[in-house]
Structure formats: structure tokens, C-alpha cells
Structure 1
Amino acid sequence: MSILLRLFALTITLMFSISANALNKPVGLIDDRDNPFRLFVLFHDDIPESKRSTAYVENIRPFTAEFEKITGRKIHTIFDRSRPPYTNFHYKAADPNVMFDRWNELTWNYRKERHDSNEFRFSRNDRVLLITNDFINGSPLFGGLGGIATRPGNSAIASLDFKQIVGHELGHTFNAVHEEGEVLYNGWWCETFMFEPLPLRSNCYVFSEGNGKRIKAYVDSLY
């Protein structure tokens, strides 16, 4: 009898432990083919209002239009600002990997926060992008890092210094790679999103055929 009582007590303890852990984790959204992707865009506090007003048209919409064309799926953009500790995050770093580990933790908290406040359900389809005024390190003229992202994953940081950086980093979150980037010619040479930028060339604001296939395959694999 004492053995049975101990087993019963152990079972109850495990049940409470599992329940307590479950309370700390958002309930995952059951993904289906009609579920839209969400892009949470957080404006860093260092971005002037003049740049914020043009960021959607010049930096974000080129990516979302191309994503929807490639995948056949909608991606909804939600903007956020003046929301510490996210929009005042210290992104400038000599060691980008250490910095980005901290940002990854914050983006998980951000998604959970909005889930817990009943604004948006937690979903693996979400992407959280911090848009910054400056490079992470270095500068556009003398070399440096303008953005960073999980490959693939849910988190990204992108500077507004080059118009294609947003699309480039978000491309990484959907499994696009540098190796498939291309330079195209449409009256002048232009770079696809994943090709390293050169000031003498223009931007195509498209993904190469190879990266388009990678993005679609990755998105389709989620369902």
C-alpha cells in the first residue's frame, strides 16, 4: 500500500510540474495553409521621424510584395515603436553574435508578451524585425555589418542605410542564402536581395530564382 501511495504522489507531482511549465509557454498556433505570416516591425528609438515615414514603402514593402509573389501567402506587417526594452535595445556591438543572442531572447519575450495580452496568438510564422538607423558595427562606406538574422528563424535586425538590407535579413529568416544571390541586368546591373551590395549597382528588389525556390520550399515545409 505504501508503494502505491508513493507512486500516486509522484504522479500528482509530475502532473503539477508539467502544468506549471506549460503555463510559462504560449500555446502554439495550429498552422494551416490559410494562416497568414506576421512581420512585427520595431522602429529603434534612434530612427528619425523622416525615415520612419518612408520605411514601409522603401524598405519593407519590396520584401513583402516579393514574398507574397513567391509563396502565394499573405504576410501582415505590424508596426511598433517606443516600447522598451525592445526599441531601445543596444544593437551596436563589436561581437554581433553575443548581441544577437540577447536580441533572440527579447524577440521571444516580445511575441509572448503580445500573446499574453490577447493581441496576437504565438506562432512560428511570426517574424520580429528591429529596424535601426545605423550599422551594427563599421559603416556603409568603410565596411561593416548592416544587419543580422536567424537562418532560418524568427528574429532579425536591419539598418536603413541600404534599402535592400531589410529584405536581405528577412530573406535569411526564410532560408535564403548568399550563395544563391545574383546580379541581374535590366538596362543597368542590379543586385537581388541576397547579393552583397555595391554602390555602383542598383537594387532589383527581387530574390534570385534559386532563393525564390528555397523560400517557397521552406514555407511549404511548415504545413
Structure 2
Amino acid sequence: MYALLKPIITFILTLMISLSAHAIDPPDKLKDDPANPIRLFAIFHDDVPAAKRSTTYADHIRPFTAEFENITGRKIHVIFDRSRPPYTNFNYKSKDQNNMFEDWKKLAWEYKRERYERNEFPLSSNDRILLITNDFINGGPVFGGVGGIANGPGLTAIASLDFKQVIGHELGHSFNAIHEEGEVLYNGWWCETFMFEPLPLRSNCFVFSEGNRKRIKDYVDSRY
């Protein structure tokens, strides 16, 4: 009898283990209805002065969200946060930006988990966590340096307020936009799309190129 039951018991145990493993896997797609907004957690570093915080949305974030919503048809809900260590006093200045960013990614996941466990927001793999800084990661805007960094695509980004297009540039990376598709456009004067490396003599278009618009839409659509 045991010989007959053994394969059945083994099959049941294997199925239970498989189901349990699947249940604890993090969701790959948004649990919310597609009509719900994507959340952008915009965390001000402690070094950003109040005067800059007051203009950040209009000057740095809204140009990106307007373009993103136009491309994808998805709304973005921006949630600002500040004075919340260890996130807002994170040491982002580093000559080794890659190792620094690995540390930030771990901390960003903790931030997301903390707010989920407090029942403040549902868990979504499509949310973005942005650390907004006053300074460059290294170097500076005059002599060159790193003003921001992001996954491509991924959960989080770090962006300086030194240039108005940096936030849109790094968030663009997080939604699968790439430098190679960046363009310089002409509308009476030359302007750079979000993913083109900035040059002081040109202005900002505050739009993505057609190639990056397609990449962003295809990526976002694939997440639902």
C-alpha cells in the first residue's frame, strides 16, 4: 500500500512546495487596476534648501510627468518626502557612483517596504523612488561630473537639481529610455530631448525623442 501511495504523496508535497514558493515571490506586475496612477516617491535629500524644494515640482518634475502621461496614458502620482533618515541623509557623493548606487538601491527597497508595511501604499513593482539632491554625485556642472544615476529600467534614481532636465533624464532611464535614442531638435533654436547629454548653449525640449517615446510606451504596456 505504501509503495502505491508514495508517488501520490510525493506529488502532493511537490505541488505544495511549488505553490508556497510562488506565493512568496514578489509580484512582477502591478496589482492595481491599470487606470490607477504610477507612484513616484520624490525624496528630498537634507541638503536641498527650502527655496529649491518649493520650485522642484513645477521646474523639474512636472515637465517629465506631463510628457510621460502623454506618451503612456498612465497617470503619475507624486508623493514628496523629506526629513526621513536614513533615506534623506544618505551619503550620495562618491567617486565610485556604481557602488554608491548599489547601496542606495538597497535602501530604496527598504523605504518602499517600510511604507507598504505601514499600510500607506500598496506594493507595486512599477513605482519609482527618486532621491533629489542639491549637488552632483561627483564633479560639478562647470567642469563635468555625474549629476544623476538610475537603473535602466528599474525601481530607483538619484538626480541633482543643477540642471532642469536631470530628473526627467534619470526617470527616463528607469522606464527604459536610452542615450542612443536622444536627439537635438530645432524649434527656432536647438534644444535637447531628455536623454541627450546637455550642452549649455542649447535649451531643453522637455520631451523624449520618438525612439524613446516608443521604448517607454512599450515598456510600460508590458508591465500590465
TM-score normalised by L of structure 2: 0.89
**AA in 2 matched with 1:128:** I
- Report how far residue 122 of structure 1 moved: 1.0
Between the aligned partners of 1:148 and 1:184, the Cα distance in structure 2 is 24
Between the aligned partners of 1:152 and 1:27, the Cα distance in structure 2 is 14
Between the aligned partners of 2:95 and 2:57, the Cα distance in structure 1 is 29
Corresponding residue for 1:128? 129
SS in 2 for 1:168: helix
Residue deviations 1:193-217, cap 9 Å, x none? 0000000000000001110010000
Between the aligned partners of 1:108 and 1:92, the Cα distance in structure 2 is 20
Between the aligned partners of 2:44 and 2:101, the Cα distance in structure 1 is 17
Q: What are the residue-to-residue correspondences of 1:1-223 with 2, within 5 Å? A: 22=24, 29-223=30-224
- Report how far residue 32 of structure 1 moved: 3.6
- Report how far residue 73 of structure 1 moved: 0.8
- Report how far residue 29 of structure 1 moved: 5.0
Any conservation in 2 of the 1:171–1:194 contact (CA below 8 Å)?
Answer: yes
**AA in 1 matched with 2:127:** D
SS in 2 for 1:129: strand
Between the aligned partners of 2:147 and 2:123, the Cα distance in structure 1 is 28
Any conservation in 2 of the 1:26–1:116 contact (CA below 8 Å)?
Answer: no
Residue deviations 1:70-127, cap 9 Å, x none? 0011010000000000000000001000000000001111111000000001101100
Number of paired residues? 216
**AA in 1 matched with 2:98:** N
CA RMSD after TM alignment: 2.5
Runs (5+) with no aligned partner, structure 2: none
SS in 1 for 2:48: coil
- Report how far residue 25 of structure 1 moved: 6.7
Between the aligned partners of 1:46 and 1:198, the Cα distance in structure 2 is 26
Between the aligned partners of 1:133 and 1:182, the Cα distance in structure 2 is 27
Runs (5+) with no aligned partner, structure 1: none
**AA in 2 matched with 1:136:** I
Displaced runs of 4+ in structure 1, greater than 6 A?
24-28
Any conservation in 2 of the 1:41–1:131 contact (CA below 8 Å)?
Answer: yes
Larger CA deviation: 34-43 vs 172-181: 34-43
Between the aligned partners of 1:130 and 1:65, the Cα distance in structure 2 is 20
TM-score normalised by L of structure 1: 0.89
Between the aligned partners of 1:136 and 1:107, the Cα distance in structure 2 is 17
Any conservation in 1 of the 2:176–2:219 contact (CA below 8 Å)?
Answer: yes
- Report how far residue 27 of structure 1 moved: 11
- Report how far residue 28 of structure 1 moved: 7.6
Any conservation in 1 of the 2:30–2:223 contact (CA below 8 Å)?
Answer: no
